[in-house]
Amino acid sequence: MTQITIQTPDDWHLHFRDGDMLKETVAATARCFNRAIVMPNLVPPVTNAQMINAYRSRIEQARPDGSQFEPLMVLYLTNDTTEQDIIDAKAAGTVAAKLYPAGATTNSDAAVSALDSLFPIFEVMARENMLLLVHGEVTDHHIDIFDREKEFIHRNLSRIVDGFPNLKIVFEHITTKDAVDFVLNAPENVAATITPQHLLLNRNDLLVGGIRPHNYCLPVLKRNIHQQALRAVVATGNSKFFLGTDSAPHEKSKKENSCGCAGCYSAWSALELYAHVFEELDALDKLEGFASHHGADFYGLPRNSGTVTLVKEDWTIPEMITLPNGDPIVPFFAGETCHWKLKA
């Protein structure tokens, strides 16, 4: 097969950041994705309807000329989120709210440290038909970083799923066989996103031969057995699993320092790299469902009407991208060969 055409896909989890960086990140995503779920972990975080509307406006202003790209907005949950915050955010067109355990990842210090106090909020979200998006890791210092997803499932996610059967839940950027098995065995109101980096890499690619800061993300890359579980489940075409890049840009200087930032900036190559993976799995026929159908169906949104075409063509992902402010950024898989390319 030398060419594949699929319905226009969506990215169900990414980070645009803010300010001048939007001119880079929005264009990178809009080149092939029609919609994207936009993470709200800015500084300060997006915690109310007014901030939702303002952030959406900034993203729309950064769209390339003629682009119809649609940002799908997300509310950042805190210990102080109220029922009215949910109602107002829903009225402002917000599709989901994001549960970050406090301290779990970039700009999450203001997030949730008292999970049980949010259970009444989850009731309101279910009533308002607002999805719950979950960064599924505990943050206790005594829990090994490679076990934090598994522990979150056992300690927290299972209780949320059992307690709120009418609440749609997306277990985001899953990284373990434990998460795959949990989602497979969960009710139909539970789904998951999977990133290109967790399909392509395992922790050897982060640690062997020296630390590779541009492969550092959270949740962190796991053992090969977990990578293989992710690859195996996407190859089945199961509709509970769909595309979410978790594309997360950081300037090169912030990745390559004594306390490097977590995140892989994959937007300029993500769809091509997913095709690369699905071809390796002899499952290119499952790519359209994963990229274009399953997420829209789970969110209760219409599938896109257009198409994109990928051609079998080797190309090298750039070593560097220059941001509008002149700062360099190293994209995910920089310098590596990808076997599929988006057709102009």
Binding-site residue set: 13, 15-17, 41, 98, 135, 173, 218, 246, 250, 262
Distance CA 174, CA 123 (A): 24
**Count, residues in the chain:** 344
Active-site option among 10, 11, 178, 246? 246
Distance CA 75, CA 81 (A): 10
Helical ranges in the chain per DSSP H: 22-30, 49-61, 83-91, 119-127, 148-152, 158-163, 177-185, 196-200, 204-207, 224-236, 252-255, 270-280, 287-288, 294-299
DSSP classification of residue 210: S
Tokens of 75: 């509310």
Question: Using an 8 Å Cβ cutoff, are 160 and 132 in contact?
Answer: yes
CA angle centred on 338, ends 335 and 342, rounded to 5°: 120
Question: Using an 8 Å Cβ cutoff, are 252 and 330 in contact?
Answer: yes
Residue ranges at the known binding site for substrate = 15-17, 41, 135, 218, 250, 262
DSSP class per residue in 237-285: T-TTEEE---B----HHHHSSTTPPP-B--TTTHHHHHHHHHHHTT-GG
Q: Order of strands, edge to edge, in the sheet holding 3-7?
A: 3-7, 307-316, 337-342
178 as an active site residue: the answer is no
Tokens of 311: 């051609």
- Own/partner pairs, 300-303, CB within 8 angstroms, 24+ separation: 300/129, 301/35, 301/95, 303/7
Residue ranges at the known binding site for Zn(2+) = 13, 15, 98, 135, 173, 246
Distance CA 29, CA 11 (A): 8
For 215, other C-beta atoms within 10 Å of its C-beta total 21
Residue type (1 letter), 258:
S
- Positions annotated as catalytic residues are 246
